[in-house]
Amino acid sequence: MKGNKTLMTVAMVSMALAANAAQIKVETGDVSLIMDGEPGGALNLCYFGEKLANTSEFAYAWHITQPDTQDEYGRQLYPAYGGRFFLNPALKLTHADGVMTTELVYRSHEQKAIDANRTETVVHLQDKIYDARVDLRFVAYNDEDVITQSVIFSHGEKGEVTVENIASSYITLKAHDYYLTHFHGTWAREMQLTEEKLTPGVKVVESKKGVRTAQSDNSAFLLSLDAPASEYSGDVYAGALAWTGNYKMQFEVDEAGLLHIVGGINPFASAISLSAGEELVTPEMVLTYSNNGRSEVTHNLHDWARRYNLAHGDEVRPVVLNSWEGAYFDFDEKVITDMIDDAAAFGVEMFVLDDGWFGNKFPRNGDNAGLGDWQVNKKKLPQGIGYLADYAVSKGMKFGIWIEPEMVNPDSELARRHPEWIVQSGKRDLLPMRNQHLLDLSNPEVQDFVFETFDNVLKMSPNISYVKWDANRHADNVGSTYLAADEQGRFWYDYICGLYNVYERIRAKYPDVLIQLCSSGGGRVDFGALKYHDEFWASDNTNALDRLKIQYSENIFFPAMATAAHVSTSPNHQTGMMLPLKFRFDVAMMGRLGMELQPKQLEGDERTFALNAIELYKELRPVIQLGDLYRIDSPYDEDGYCSDVYVSKDRREAVVFAFSTTYHNRTQSYDIKLHGLDPAKNYLLKEVNTPDGGSWYPGNGKVYSGEFLMKAGLSLPIGGAFTSMVLHLTEQ
């Protein structure tokens, strides 16, 4: 009886507290994030999921904790280390007087409409004793069902406060089971998908590389409740940290069965001391939710990115020929003009001159010299970049160029002129990677240099309309000659802030230039950098079979229109694999189509096929780049089949890509049911991108209802290794 009486008392007290609490709603069209906080009390997360029509019941819903264990198993929205909180906290401070604990309480909040689609909510928290303030900033995107969260820390203490850990978000969920989808890899094998059931304890996904932080792991994740993630059913949450530097994502299942998701800047070697009045701003955590599986999560993020987090997200991307695999460093002016001639003949719309065009005293004839010396190599290109850009335009194309402005070779004029600009750890030896060092972007002078590099390259010709920005090493053994001895912990944070400052200045001056985000391939595939770019280079691995998995994973979060996907030669330069040209084109057409080869190598029937495929892509790309992506079967499945459907926003047109990646029984067909069509519409089906322009598929030229295609489906006659089909559906 005594225990029951205690429970009843706790319930009554909790109900009374909740009745006096302020309810804070962050809502989109279909998602609700509900908080409550009483002034002087903890801020709690009440709910995050499908939108609720009535939230008044939370006024008498009591919390699961008892007063003598307060917060240990609770749902604090942004818990700091202090009190009885024993899990991984969102915030860890050391106050000016040396006290290492912090207890945040709710103070107030305000909401305002940014525009018709966006609402900003700022919740103010403060330590119970110290003048240490945390502002939680949420932006709700109504139409896209995306919520972003970031944090601003400041204080008014006498002396410096050291921020040892500060997360962008802290979300608590409750279910029987949790299934985490995360991504790992390496150079040429980025973004490999893994799904695992979380067990009690902590799962950590992190990077401490400073640069190329998405190369081996990615901060984007999916979290499915009670069952593995399904495409079209079930509760699925998605998160992605908009940050290009070190990050740490923690997924902790506590002893009460709650899952705590903590994400933000990696605290490794990153303690930052702030004086009174200074602010520390975290990157945004991008969040979304669907009770209709991960496909809807993808639509939310793609729509949001195209509208708010991608340069020129409403414009189709051009077909590109990049010179790298066709010429590498071994070229002169004639080699490039010949490639431009051939590219124009194929209907390519953008020619990009890759690495090797610069350096005189230290000519860039390999990766061991010239980085940092951004003058045109007069021996290779005596008439300069302007001549090549004008030549491309005269052939009906646009012109782009490669740069790597954050890096420097030891053999360069820049390294000799400014050795203090190189990231270095005191008197320790510099550790080259790919024969190059990293410039210190925490230094404003280096930021100016990087901006001026971009600016001066663009000034070489008004006909440069595209820049491929590369970054081919990560940060190690770090230190800064610019930062004071007691500020070295700021390096990781200040480097990325310096990079973003340069991006901001570039976009202010060159809003119309297309910029590709490259970092040894997919080393910077994150929303933090992507918002300043038009596209990303998914991987240096152009082998189509490998690209199926890489692009599949990246396109869960990042739009197909931003995914640069190039057709390269066979055998492939990275893997040695030989694949049919049609298979290579079909894979590349699922993103922003390009070519990465010497066009002269395509002769006879292959040349004809490539010409027709490029023209076909131009017809299909509005659907592929601006439509909705529906995944049918995954390349990670073991049956050797995979397929995707791209559907226009008005549901009047669709493009189906289907692949057989291994040999199947000759009597076996690939049966698929489509998604995303209008069941009431009728669609003409046409097989396209065939070697001879025809089709022996029995369904070719037939009209099907959307209902039939989605419920009964199609049987596709592909079963040989590396065979594929592309179907174009148009409303009749």
Mean pLDDT of the region 507-514: 98
185 and 113 in a common domain: yes
In three-state secondary structure terms, 5 is helix
Domain boundaries, position 67:
2-308
pLDDT in tens, 439-490: 999 999 999 999 999 999 999 999 999 999 999 999 999 999 999 999 999 9
- Distance (Å, whole) CA 564 – CA 567: 10
| CATH number where 180 lies | 2.70.98.60
AA identity, residue 222: L
Of 82-91, 199-208, 403-412, where does mean pLDDT reach its minimum?
82-91
Would the pLDDT of 7 be above 90? no
Q: Is residue 83 part of a domain?
A: yes
- CB–CB of 317/535 below 8 Å? yes
Residues serving a catalytic function are: 470, 540
pLDDT in tens, 52-81: 999 988 876 544 444 444 444 468 999 999
Would the pLDDT of 171 be above 50? yes
- Distance (Å, whole) CA 586 – CA 487: 51
The angle, 0 to 180 degrees and rounded to 10, between the axes of the packed helices 544-557 and 581-588 is: 10
453 and 380 in a common domain: yes
92 and 189 in a common domain: yes
Can you give the pTM of this predicted structure? 0.95
AA identity, residue 662: T
In three-state secondary structure terms, 26 is strand
Question: Between residues 74 and 533, which one has the greater pLDDT?
Answer: 533
Quick one: pLDDT band at residue 16, thresholds 50, 70, 90? very low
535 and 388 in a common domain: yes
- CB–CB of 440/480 below 8 Å? yes
- CB–CB of 683/704 below 8 Å? yes
251 and 124 in a common domain: yes
Q: Is residue 438 part of a domain?
A: no
299 and 194 in a common domain: yes
95 and 182 in a common domain: yes
188 and 273 in a common domain: yes
Q: How far is CA 611 from CA 4, 327, 348, 401, 584, in A?
A: 79, 21, 9, 24, 14
Quick one: pLDDT band at residue 8, thresholds 50, 70, 90? very low
- CB–CB of 186/217 below 8 Å? no
pLDDT at residue 64, as a whole number: 44
Domain boundary among 278, 308, 338: 308
145 and 49 in a common domain: yes
Q: How far is CA 376 from CA 246, 321, 362, 538, in A?
A: 34, 21, 11, 28
Residue 163: CB atoms within 10 Å: 24
- Distance (Å, whole) CA 73 – CA 85: 8
Provide the token pair at 636. 């990670």
Q: Is residue 335 part of a domain?
A: yes
HEC profile of 126-144: EECCCCEEEEEEEEEECCC
605 and 467 in a common domain: yes
Domain boundary among 244, 273, 308: 308
659 and 561 in a common domain: no
Domain boundary among 601, 627, 653: 627
- Distance (Å, whole) CA 340 – CA 332: 13
Q: How far is CA 507 from CA 320, 455, 501, 518, in A?
A: 22, 11, 10, 17
612 and 688 in a common domain: no
pLDDT in tens, 492-505: 999 999 999 999 99
Collect contacts of 195-199 with beta carbons under 8 A, ≥24 apart: 195/222, 195/228, 195/229, 197/228, 198/251, 198/253, 198/259, 199/253
- Distance (Å, whole) CA 137 – CA 149: 6
Q: Is residue 496 part of a domain?
A: no
| CATH number where 524 lies | 3.20.20.70
| CATH number where 675 lies | 2.60.40.1180
Mean pLDDT of the region 251-273: 97
Sequence-separated (6 or more) residues with CB below 8 Å from residue 354: 322, 323, 324, 327, 402, 468
Count the domains in the chain: 3
Q: Is residue 313 part of a domain?
A: no
β partners of residue 464: 399
Mean pLDDT of the region 259-263: 97
pLDDT at residue 59, as a whole number: 72
Would the pLDDT of 512 be above 80? yes
pLDDT at residue 74, as a whole number: 63
Q: Is residue 427 part of a domain?
A: no
pLDDT at residue 1, as a whole number: 33
Q: Is residue 497 part of a domain?
A: no
pLDDT in tens, 647-690: 999 999 999 999 999 999 888 899 999 999 999 999 999 999 99
Sequence-separated (6 or more) residues with CB below 8 Å from residue 394: none
pLDDT at residue 667, as a whole number: 83
Provide the token pair at 458. 């663009």
Sequence-separated (6 or more) residues with CB below 8 Å from residue 266: 206, 207, 208, 245, 246, 247, 248, 492
Q: Is residue 101 part of a domain?
A: yes
